[in-house]
Amino acid sequence: MEVSCDLVDDTATGAPGATRRGERADDVRTRSEALRTLARRGSARVIASCGLALLAVRAALGGAGVLDAVIVVAALAVAGVGEWVVHRHLFHAPEQAWVARRLGVGREHRRHHADPGALDTLLLRTPAAAVFVAVLGVVAAGVAVPLARVVGAPGARPATTAWLVAVLALGHYEWVHLLAHTRYRFRSRRYRRLARNHRVHHHRDDRSWFGVTSDVGDRLLGTRRAAAEASRPG
Ligand SMILES: [Zn+2]
Ligand SMILES: [Zn+2]
């Protein structure tokens, strides 16, 4: 997922668009190389530090209950569709759309499509990662607190659980998206299929396969592209 939000780049490679030799996803061949590449990026540091902080807060708040389990299951169920909505309607927002003109949303993603191997636009820039983490916190609280009220429970625990799961999902997205653009070949059939779908999105039809870590959104919302069709030039 990429978002610009007109924020200044402060990632490891310096100036926007600049990439050093060996700093491209298509140079990466193994999972450990990918992990080292990701660990050098500001977005990974933001996501990892926020995830660890939320884990510590959640542990301090006390044991998990049924509501936490409900939150985790619900978050996993909607994550694929949420990812689809962000990719389809924000990152691929028309250039004349308000979010694109005023917030710069989609600009980085267009750069990512122009050069998929460039890490600066493949991975979130550090400020964009912080914005995502903050927005996910607002969404998590907005869902979990009213849900807790319905069952007469305090909202802090489920809200923290929901935020933690959302931040982990964001980290998962960054990891899978990075690997999908490297020479690494996923071992699992599910992730191999997702990586293949993402390449179709980039190289065949950018109106198909908006899901990166899940294809649920594409299946539900009609943006699948059949393998036979995808193999034809287009
Ligand atoms: Zn991509
Ligand atoms: Zn795209």
Residue range 171-209, pLDDT digits in tens: 999 999 999 999 999 999 999 999 999 999 999 999 999
pTM greater than the 0.95 cutoff: no
Reference 119, options 6, 9, 195; nearest CA is: 9
Q: Is residue 198 part of a domain?
A: no
* Among 97, 72, 84, residue whose Cα is nearest residue 1: 84
CA of 101 to the centre of ligand 1 (A): 22
Does 178 fall in a domain?
no
Q: Confirm whether 197 is domain-assigned.
A: no
Q: Is residue 162 part of a domain?
A: yes
Q: Write out the chain's pLDDT in tens, 234 residues.
A: 434 333 333 333 344 444 454 479 999 999 999 999 999 999 999 999 999 999 999 999 988 889 999 999 999 999 999 999 999 999 999 999 888 888 888 999 999 999 999 999 999 999 999 999 999 999 999 999 999 999 888 899 999 999 999 999 999 999 999 999 999 999 999 999 999 999 999 999 999 999 999 999 999 999 998 654 544 433
How far out from the chain centre does Cα 53 lie? Answer: 19
Structural domain includes residue 29? yes
What tokens appear for 6 in the block?
């007109």
Which residues, 6 or more positions from 37, have their beta carbon under 8 angstroms from its beta carbon? 23, 25, 28, 119, 178
Query: Is 204 a member of any domain?
Result: no
What is the crossing angle of helices 42-61 and 126-150, to 10°? 20
203 occurs within a structural domain: no
Counting ligands in written order, which one lies closest to the CA of residue 87? Answer: 2
In a domain, residue 161? The reply is: yes
Domain that holds residue 37: 25-167
129 C-alpha to ligand 1 centroid (Å): 16
- How long, in residues, is the chain? 234
Residue 22 phi/psi, 5-degree rounding, is 80, 0
**How many domains does the chain divide into?**
1
Output the CA 176–ligand 1 centroid distance in Å. Answer: 10
Ligand nearest to the CA of 117: 1
Q: Which residue has the tokens 């036979």?
A: 228
